[in-house]
Structure 1
């Protein structure tokens, strides 16, 4: 089978990390390393000041993207996992109650279960149907007088389903709770305005839909919320004090930041702002619809998540009767040069919901530059693999 556009690899693993990155991202990182690689906030010389401006420009771009009025309410983190841990462990106290969903990533589930075991936090998970939809009335019924937090992903990293964040925010408000949203699969491909949607805490990656490098991400923290920092150390501010600074974002950014990575992230965010997250999301949705139509013609292939025509992010997961998901992914890689992901995708609760706990699933995911020829290549490869079962 010929590969489209003579590409060395057909990359359909954007839900894990977007690739390739825009040229502007590479240029920004190279320029930062060559000209601005001093330690921001730790000196008054020109290079240190220039490095500090890199961080501020990126913070301001993120503020524009997410509707954040004060960019200092965005703290840089190495990834979404770190952001979720900071939010969950920095907010919850013994005796608090949390409501999450059955389609959460382990980056939510494991910190919650840790807080349950070690600190007596109570946790309930609202059920979801096979397509990843939850009943908001059931979610509301799980809330208690001591419910301090509702946490949900914006979009399932297995099913691609999209949760009604604004409705969930209203439920949180009515019960006096905060809302934490995991935007790992939506940042950069869906319009997110934290004020309009009612989001109190937003955890996001830099290396997926925002098109930045790995090792970047962040956490938006509503001004009224004070999280206990997980990290304590040097910040370049209030250095004479024994306590971590109270000023943002320093309070949550101990240690030398990933200046070069944040420079790349800034370029990626600016690319998203220029294109428009809604435009990118629409393009990816159209590609997923095309891919679903194509794959549905493969004998024995079972699509997961929302049905054709329904809202979803750029994820199309599937199983094939009679073949293990890992074997399928191996063949796609070795014989067809197609990169997908197989297994449990760090979300066993979602697999339980989808009925795929026995062998996991194959996850294909499109990106902003995925082509029709690439989706057709995956379909033809799956047709050949299915004939071999």
Structure 2
């Protein structure tokens, strides 16, 4: 049976061979902890980590390599940012297209009585009117936290415009780039982003267990670490170092994962982000056009390739999305995601709650043959209905 992987919004697969090779090379020929020794292998690991910080800072036009903090995933990054920054009495604004990695920490802080929260409703196609963000601002508003693109519909949200609003009202701006990092250009300075959270295992083509955030000096001044421990620096004192990145990096880094992440980002630079985007857009267009011909097909989102990522959410009338996903996998070897996709507010916004949807998410290594095969499979599933 042919195998077609279309769940790249969850994690990209396959990875470039260089990612695997880099991780194996590190584990085989280096393997030492960075910043924990003066011997050559430890120094090699330190150089690897520093080079990766430089690549990430360059990719996102950040304030500097030392401002790049590594974590195990974007959920950890967002929690560290919000729990470390937000103070009692703050009012926070977010959107209705957020992933639970944003909504749940915010709800937790709200339940603790620390913050108050406003969730700005997006339109039925997942798009956001920036005026609604501005209208939600009150005297206690201190920050906006939002995704760059929906993991459900792929809708790209206007972070540059929101960033300008944040600057106008002196608000902190935290961005979740899980669905866009590596495929859509992000300029931290141009978008006035204070903290950009990223994950390594999606568009950056690295392994699971990698991620981080980039924090500017303004946000750093008001953000405290939520973890403390060994950093390999200032070991003679029993308080956490106050300088970046050690302030936020306690314990042993996933250096093998960082080696893979470095290779993934180098792959992106070599291919070109624009070329990756063009390839995925071409396939998305073919998928949309093919699926739109199927009777009873409901397609969600902006349906504009310039306004969304590589993700397409659909349903077939009178069919459970989990049954569609099961048949795609069981009969055709096509791997997709069904259900609520960790974004219940997103499904309420587009009108698919509580049933959910079937989500197709294309990656750089998919082909036009994959798309044609998938469209034909969906046509046969609809006929059997």
**Which bracket does the TM-score occupy, shorter chain normalised?**
over 0.9
2: CA distance between counterparts of 1:69 and 1:220? 8
Residue 345 of structure 1 is aligned with which of 313, 336, 341? 341
* Partner Cα distance (1:162, 1:309) in 2: 10
1:376 to 372, 376, 380: 372
| 1:152 counterpart = 2:118 | no
Deviates more, 1:63-72 or 1:348-357: 63-72
Q: CA separation in 2, counterparts of 1:174 and 1:125?
A: 20
Provide the TM-score with structure 2 as the length reference: 0.98
**Shift in Å, 1:320:** 0.9
Partner of 2:86: 92
* Alpha-carbon shift at residue 176 of structure 1 (Å): 1.2
Which residue is equivalent to 1:237?
233
Q: CA deviation at 1:189?
A: 0.2
Residue in 2 that maps onto 1:40: 34
Q: Is the contact made by 1:237 and 1:250 (CA closer than 8 Å) also made in structure 2?
A: yes
Deviations 1:200-241 (A, max 9, x none): 110111000000000001101011222211211000001111
Equivalent position SS for 1:246 = coil
The gaps in structure 1 that reach 5 residues or longer are: 4-8
Query: Counterpart of 1:135?
Result: 129
Among candidates 255, 273, 296, match of residue 259 of structure 1: 255
Tell me how far 1:55 sits from its aligned partner. 0.7
Cα distance between partner residues in 2 of 1:260 and 1:319: 40
For the residues of structure 2 that align with 1:309 and 1:180, how far apart are their CA atoms? Answer: 25
Per the alignment, residue 122 of structure 1 pairs with: 116
The answer as to whether partners of 1:144 and 1:175 remain within 8 angstroms in 2 is no
Counterpart of 1:274 (choices 270, 276, 279) is 270
Counterparts of 1:130 and 1:275 in 2: how far apart (Å)? 35
Task: Give me the whole-angstrom Cα distance separating, in 1, the residues matched to 2:360 and 2:258.
Answer: 28
Unpaired runs of at least 5, structure 2: none
**1:285 Cα offset (Å):** 1.7
User: Could you say if the C-alpha distance between residues 310 and 31 of structure 1 is closer, same or farther in structure 2, counting changes exceeding 3 Å?
Assistant: closer
SS of residue in 2 equivalent to 1:224: helix
- Which residue is 1:208 aligned to? 202
> Displacement, 1:282?
2.3
Task: Please state if 1:319 is matched with 2:323.
Answer: no
Q: Corresponding residue for 2:106? A: 112
**1:302 aligns to what SS in structure 2?**
strand
- Mapping of 1:324-339 within 5 angstroms? 324-339=320-335
Count of paired positions: 383
Two-structure CA RMSD over aligned residues (Å): 1.1
The residue aligned with 1:387 is 383
Question: Structure 1 pair 196/323, CA: closer, same or farther in 2 (3 Å)?
Answer: same
> What SS does the corresponding residue of 1:319 show, helix, strand or coil?
strand
CA distance in 2, matches of 1:119, 1:58: 38
- Please give the alpha-carbon distance, in whole angstroms, between the structure 1 residues aligned to 2:141 and 2:91: 4
Corresponding position of 2:169? 175
Counterpart-to-counterpart distance in 1, 2:216 and 2:104: 24
SS in 1 for 2:279: helix
Q: Hey, what does 2:363 align to over in structure 1?
A: 367
Give me the whole-angstrom Cα distance separating, in 2, the residues matched to 1:82 and 1:381. Answer: 38
Instruction: State the distance in 1 between where 2:148 and 2:348 align.
Output: 19
Alpha carbons 1:93, 1:119 under 8 Å: kept: no
User: Is the partner of 1:280 in helix, strand or coil?
Assistant: helix
Contact (CA 8 Å) 1:29, 1:260: kept in 2 or not?
yes
